[in-house]
Amino acid sequence: MTQPARLERLFGFVMLAWVVCFRIGVWLAEQRPINVKKHGRKAVSLVR
């Protein structure tokens, strides 16, 4: 917490990694659709 610039950069990298994972998940879901269970939710998370 003594170096806010480094902390800001770390959060930036974490957000960038999350966005990349999400975009890959969306792309994979388009390639091979995710099954929808009986309760209406998808069987697998897009991010996972």
Q: DSSP string of 1-48?
A: ---HHHHHHHHHHHHHHHHHHHHHHHHHHHHSPPPB-TTSSBSS-S--
**pLDDT (0 to 100) of residue 44:** 80
Q: What is the pLDDT of residues 1-48, one digit of tens each?
A: 789 999 999 999 999 999 998 898 889 888 988 889 999 888 887 666
Domains: count for the chain: 1
**pLDDT (0 to 100) of residue 47:** 67
pTM recorded for the entire structure: 0.66
**pLDDT (0 to 100) of residue 23:** 92
Is there a contact between 27 and 46 (Cβ–Cβ < 8 Å)?
no
Containing domain of residue 13, as a range?
1-48
**pLDDT (0 to 100) of residue 37:** 92
Cβ neighbours of residue 21 under 8 Å, at least 6 residues apart? 47
Q: Cα 46 vs. chain centroid, distance in angstroms?
A: 7
Nearest in space to 19 (alpha carbons), one of 11, 30, 31: 11
